[in-house]
Amino acid sequence: MSQDLTNGAAERADVVPEESAIRPVINVVLAGVGGQGSVLATRILARAAALAGHEVVTSEVHGMSQRGGTVVTTVRYGDEVLAPAIPEGQADFLVAFERLEAARHLALVRPGGAALVNDQRIAPSIEALKHAAYPDDLQARADTAGVVIHLCPALRMARELGNDKLSSTVLLGALANQLLIDGEHWRQAVRESVPPRTVEANEAAFASGSEWAVERPTFSS
């Protein structure tokens, strides 16, 4: 697996007792804006992890998520997973579907963790912008939090494939063969999770994300 992505989660002393074959618990936070497909992406990740033989626990808080609000979900997997939500500051990885939501959820990631961020801006409401500006300092915030940022032009790539909504699958494609899940399990999870008539388009989006990741020297080792 790539060390860059999990940034050494497997080597963390607090999750891997010495001389143990127990796989570490991987904690992933997914954050986006209602309507971006982050709930579906959460289900795909959970299914992929389950196919890879992990115990999986997810948590999502929704209800108003379709109305353009922040949506944050968590996926935890490994040999034994307990609490549904990830303790603050202990996520290994953040998948952010939008830049502001990336900045907002950096605090959930542990120092040394990483974030894959869709390079997309979705304007918050004018009412919200009266009180705070859209941040231009994502990188600086990540540096402060000790989190490595990988910016992926998933929206642009999805648009090239003809459908903006594929950007969440593009983003998942960039995670193929990462996070202790094989590419084949990822692809199977995508096939089994998306609406049947969109399987082909989602497979293409996933492949496109995977290719992007391979071409990124900082992204795969």
Partner 1 sequence: MEHVLAGMKGEGESTAPAQAMEREDGVAAGSSELLSGNDALARGAWEAGVRVGAGYPGTPSTEILEALGRLPGVDCEWSPNEKVALEVAVGASLAGARAIATMKHVGINVAADPLFSVAYMGVNGGLVVVSADDPGMHSSQNEQDNRLFARHARIPLLEPSSPAEARQYAAAAFTLSEAFDTPVLLRSTTRLSHGTARVQVGPRSDVALRPYRKARTKNVVLPAHGRELHRRIEEERIPRLATEAEAWAEVLEPGPGDSGDVAFITAGVPTLYVREAFPGAPILKLGMTYPLPTSTLRSFAETYESRRIYVVEELEPVLEEQVRAMGIHVADRTWPRYGELSVGALRGAVQPDPPGETATGSDPEARAAPARPVPAAVAPLPIRPPALCPGCGHRGAFHGLARMDAIVNGDIGCYTLGALPPLDSMDTCMNMGASIGMAHGMEKVLPEEQRRRLVSVIGDSTFYHSGVTGLMDVVYNRGAGTVVVLDNRTTAMTGHQAHPGTGTRLDADAAPRIDIGAVARALGVEDVRSLDPYDLLDAWRTLDDATRSGQPTVLIAEKPCVLKERITFGEPVVLDADRCTDCFACTRLGCPAIEESGGRLQVNELLCNGCTHCQQVCGNCNAGIDIPLVLELVDQGRMAEAFEVLMRANPMPGIASRVCPHPCDQDVNALGFPQAETYAARHPKLIDRFPGRADRISVRSVERYVGDWGLANLDLAALAPAEERPGSVGIVGSGPGGLTAAWYLRRQGWQVTVYESGPAPGGMLRTGIPPFRLPREVLDGELDRWRAIGVEFRTGMSIGRDMAIQELQEAHDAVMLAVGYHASRGMSLPGSESAPASVLHGLDFLRRFNDGEEPDVGRRVAVIGGGNTAIDCARAARRLGSTVKVIYRRTEAEMPAIPDEVEEARLEGVEFSFQRNPVRALTADGSLKELECIAMAQGEPDESGRRRPVAVPGSEESESFNTVILAIGEDADLGFLEGSDVSINGRVDVNFAGATSCPGVFACGDAAFGHGTVTQAVGTGRRAAELAAQYLNRKAAAQQ
Q: Which residues are at the interface with partner 1 (CB under 8 A)?
A: 14, 33-34, 43, 46-47, 50, 55-70, 81-85, 87-90, 100-101, 103-104, 110-111, 123-135, 137, 140-141, 144-146, 164
Tokens of 191: 């096939």
Measured from the CB atom, is 162 or 214 closer to partner 1?
162
CA 50 centroid distance within chain: 16
Report the nearest approach of partner 1 to the CB of residue 56 (Å): 6
Tokens of 119: 């390079």
Measured from the CB atom, is 129 or 214 closer to partner 1?
129
Report the nearest approach of partner 1 to the CB of residue 65 (Å): 8
Report the nearest approach of partner 1 to the CB of residue 217 (Å): 27
Rounded to whole angstroms, how far apart are CA atoms 95 and 12? 20
Q: Give the DSSP per-residue string, 68-135.
A: T-EEEEEEEEES----SSPPTT-EEEEEESSHHHHHHHGGGEEEEEEEEEE----PPPHHHHTTSPPP
Report the nearest approach of partner 1 to the CB of residue 174 (Å): 23
Measured from the CB atom, is 50 or 216 closer to partner 1?
50
Measured from the CB atom, is 10 or 216 closer to partner 1?
10
Residue length of the chain:
221
